[in-house]
Structure 1
Amino acid sequence: MTNTPSNDQTLDTSAEQVTLMDQLKQVELFNGRAAMLGIVIGIVVEGLTGVGIAHQIGLGALVDGYAACRTQFLPFCF
């Protein structure tokens, strides 16, 4: 007696893999769309308020260079 899976088990496993791949495609599609929407919203807010995206999410001090030089996050200063 061999330990090879029967045809039913092989078909079941391949059907599960197809289902998982379809779910992964849907999740990645949603993730990409959410990221694009976030960037567009950030750009619109930047256009309306003049505050950059980095400042909107709290990383403005690093972009400005002051905090980067003061806390030595970067090997150079602006």
Structure 2
Amino acid sequence: MTNTSANDQWFQHRAEQLIHMEQLKRVERFNGRAAMLGIVIGILTEAITGSGIAHQIGLGALVDGYAACRTQFLPFCF
């Protein structure tokens, strides 16, 4: 009787693992598609407006500061 109970627990645990993995695959697939869509929208917006993706998400000053450092316009570049 203990053997069937152990088998039942093993099958239940394995079924839970499979369900969890299937849900994880579905969520990761959705996240990947959302990321691809976001990149495409960012590139299209860059093509239309001329403003880069970094500027679109508010990191333009950081990128501009890096460009200034690279061209030696700022005296305190790190």
Query: Shorter-normalised TM-score: what interval?
Result: 0.7 to 0.9
For normalisation by structure 2, the TM-score amounts to 0.79
For structure 1, list consecutive stretches of 5 or more residues without a partner in the other structure.
none
What's 2:41 paired with?
A: 41
Q: How does 1:1-78 map to 2 (within 5 A)?
A: 6-65=6-65, 75=78
- Partner of 1:65, secondary structure, is helix
Q: Quick one: distance in 2 between partners of 1:35 and 1:6?
A: 43
- Identity over aligned pairs, percent: 68
- Partner of 1:6, secondary structure, is helix
Deviation at 1:6, TM superposition (A): 0.8
Letter in 2 for 1:61: A
Q: Quick one: distance in 1 between partners of 2:27 and 2:37?
A: 15
Higher fraction of helix: 2
For normalisation by structure 1, the TM-score amounts to 0.79
Aligned pair count reads: 69
Q: Quick one: distance in 2 between partners of 1:51 and 1:23?
A: 38
